[in-house]
Amino acid sequence: MNELSPEQTARVVALAMDLAREGGTEELLEFLDHGLPVDTRDEQGNSLVMLAAYHGHETTVGALVDRGADVNLRNDKDQTPVAGALFKGEEGVVRALVAAGADLDAGTPSARAAAEMFGRTGLLP
Protein backbone atom coordinates (compact mmCIF):
# COMPACT_ATOMS: atom_id res chain seq x y z
CA MET A 1 0.00 0.00 0.00
CA ASN A 2 1.30 3.45 -0.86
CA GLU A 3 2.02 5.98 1.84
CA LEU A 4 0.13 9.26 1.66
CA SER A 5 2.03 12.51 1.29
CA PRO A 6 1.61 15.08 4.07
CA GLU A 7 -0.70 17.05 1.77
CA GLN A 8 -2.83 13.98 1.05
CA THR A 9 -2.98 13.12 4.74
CA ALA A 10 -4.09 16.67 5.58
CA ARG A 11 -6.82 16.44 2.94
CA VAL A 12 -8.08 13.10 4.28
CA VAL A 13 -8.20 14.52 7.81
CA ALA A 14 -10.04 17.64 6.58
CA LEU A 15 -12.60 15.51 4.74
CA ALA A 16 -13.14 13.33 7.81
CA MET A 17 -13.60 16.38 10.02
CA ASP A 18 -16.19 17.74 7.58
CA LEU A 19 -18.04 14.42 7.69
CA ALA A 20 -18.06 14.53 11.50
CA ARG A 21 -19.43 18.10 11.44
CA GLU A 22 -22.10 17.14 8.88
CA GLY A 23 -23.11 13.82 10.44
CA GLY A 24 -21.86 11.77 7.49
CA THR A 25 -21.69 8.64 9.59
CA GLU A 26 -21.45 5.97 6.89
CA GLU A 27 -18.81 7.84 4.89
CA LEU A 28 -16.84 8.60 8.05
CA LEU A 29 -16.87 4.93 9.04
CA GLU A 30 -15.40 4.11 5.63
CA PHE A 31 -12.44 6.38 6.43
CA LEU A 32 -11.99 4.50 9.72
CA ASP A 33 -12.28 1.16 7.93
CA HIS A 34 -9.41 2.26 5.68
CA GLY A 35 -7.12 3.07 8.59
CA LEU A 36 -7.92 6.58 9.79
CA PRO A 37 -7.50 6.54 13.59
CA VAL A 38 -10.79 7.12 15.42
CA ASP A 39 -9.17 9.80 17.60
CA THR A 40 -7.76 11.80 14.69
CA ARG A 41 -7.61 15.53 15.52
CA ASP A 42 -7.63 18.71 13.48
CA GLU A 43 -5.27 21.69 13.80
CA GLN A 44 -7.22 22.96 16.85
CA GLY A 45 -7.08 19.59 18.56
CA ASN A 46 -10.74 18.79 17.88
CA SER A 47 -11.41 15.08 17.56
CA LEU A 48 -14.02 13.54 15.29
CA VAL A 49 -16.28 12.86 18.28
CA MET A 50 -15.84 16.48 19.46
CA LEU A 51 -17.06 17.86 16.14
CA ALA A 52 -19.90 15.37 15.81
CA ALA A 53 -21.01 16.11 19.39
CA TYR A 54 -20.84 19.88 19.01
CA HIS A 55 -22.91 19.76 15.84
CA GLY A 56 -25.55 17.48 17.40
CA HIS A 57 -25.01 14.29 15.41
CA GLU A 58 -26.01 11.63 17.92
CA THR A 59 -25.79 8.76 15.42
CA THR A 60 -22.26 9.77 14.41
CA VAL A 61 -21.21 10.14 18.04
CA GLY A 62 -22.59 6.67 18.78
CA ALA A 63 -20.78 5.14 15.82
CA LEU A 64 -17.49 6.75 16.85
CA VAL A 65 -17.96 5.57 20.44
CA ASP A 66 -18.63 2.07 19.13
CA ARG A 67 -15.31 2.29 17.28
CA GLY A 68 -13.49 3.23 20.49
CA ALA A 69 -13.38 7.03 20.34
CA ASP A 70 -12.07 8.70 23.49
CA VAL A 71 -15.08 10.69 24.73
CA ASN A 72 -12.86 12.68 27.10
CA LEU A 73 -10.29 13.83 24.54
CA ARG A 74 -9.92 17.60 25.01
CA ASN A 75 -9.16 20.07 22.27
CA ASP A 76 -6.44 22.73 22.41
CA LYS A 77 -8.80 25.01 24.39
CA ASP A 78 -9.23 22.27 27.03
CA GLN A 79 -12.85 21.67 25.98
CA THR A 80 -14.49 18.24 26.07
CA PRO A 81 -17.11 16.81 23.71
CA VAL A 82 -19.74 16.62 26.46
CA ALA A 83 -19.22 20.28 27.41
CA GLY A 84 -19.65 21.25 23.76
CA ALA A 85 -22.84 19.22 23.49
CA LEU A 86 -24.17 20.82 26.68
CA PHE A 87 -23.34 24.29 25.37
CA LYS A 88 -25.36 23.54 22.24
CA GLY A 89 -28.23 21.91 24.19
CA GLU A 90 -27.83 18.54 22.45
CA GLU A 91 -29.61 16.31 24.98
CA GLY A 92 -29.30 13.04 23.03
CA VAL A 93 -25.59 13.60 22.43
CA VAL A 94 -25.04 14.41 26.11
CA ARG A 95 -26.81 11.17 27.10
CA ALA A 96 -24.73 9.14 24.64
CA LEU A 97 -21.45 10.64 25.83
CA VAL A 98 -22.32 10.19 29.52
CA ALA A 99 -23.31 6.57 28.84
CA ALA A 100 -19.91 6.11 27.17
CA GLY A 101 -18.07 7.43 30.23
CA ALA A 102 -17.74 11.17 29.60
CA ASP A 103 -16.21 12.95 32.58
CA LEU A 104 -18.54 15.79 33.57
CA ASP A 105 -15.80 17.40 35.66
CA ALA A 106 -13.03 17.45 33.01
CA GLY A 107 -12.01 20.39 30.85
CA THR A 108 -12.38 24.14 30.98
CA PRO A 109 -15.13 24.84 31.54
CA SER A 110 -16.21 21.45 32.77
CA ALA A 111 -19.51 20.07 31.50
CA ARG A 112 -21.05 20.79 34.90
CA ALA A 113 -19.84 24.40 34.77
CA ALA A 114 -21.05 24.79 31.16
CA ALA A 115 -24.47 23.44 32.12
CA GLU A 116 -24.66 25.93 34.97
CA MET A 117 -23.48 28.88 32.84
CA PHE A 118 -25.94 28.22 30.04
CA GLY A 119 -28.93 27.13 32.13
CA ARG A 120 -28.80 23.53 30.97
CA THR A 121 -28.39 21.67 34.27
CA GLY A 122 -31.50 19.69 33.34
CA LEU A 123 -29.41 17.90 30.70
CA LEU A 124 -27.07 16.48 33.34
CA PRO A 125 -27.69 13.02 34.78
pLDDT in tens, 5-20: 889 989 999 999 999 9
Mean pLDDT of 74-93: 95
State the total domains in the chain.
1
**Is position 39 within any domain?**
yes
CA 39 to chain centre: 9
As a whole-number percent, the residues of the chain with pLDDT over 90 amount to 89
As a whole-number percent, the residues of the chain with pLDDT over 70 amount to 98
**Is position 92 within any domain?**
yes
- The reported pLDDT for the residue numbered 1 is 42
**Is position 1 within any domain?**
no
- Whole-angstrom CA distances from 30 to 27, 69, 90, 98 are 5, 15, 25, 26
Mean pLDDT of 33-59: 96
**Is position 79 within any domain?**
yes
Q: Could you tell me which residues are beta bridge partners of residue 41?
A: 47
pTM for the whole structure: 0.93
- Distance of alpha carbon 84 from alpha carbon 78, whole angstroms: 11
- The reported pLDDT for the residue numbered 4 is 81
**Is position 40 within any domain?**
yes
- The reported pLDDT for the residue numbered 125 is 84
**Is position 25 within any domain?**
yes
Domain assignment of residue 13, given as a range: 6-123
pLDDT in tens, 88-103: 999 999 999 999 999 9
Q: Tell me, what CATH number does 12's domain have? A: 1.25.40.20
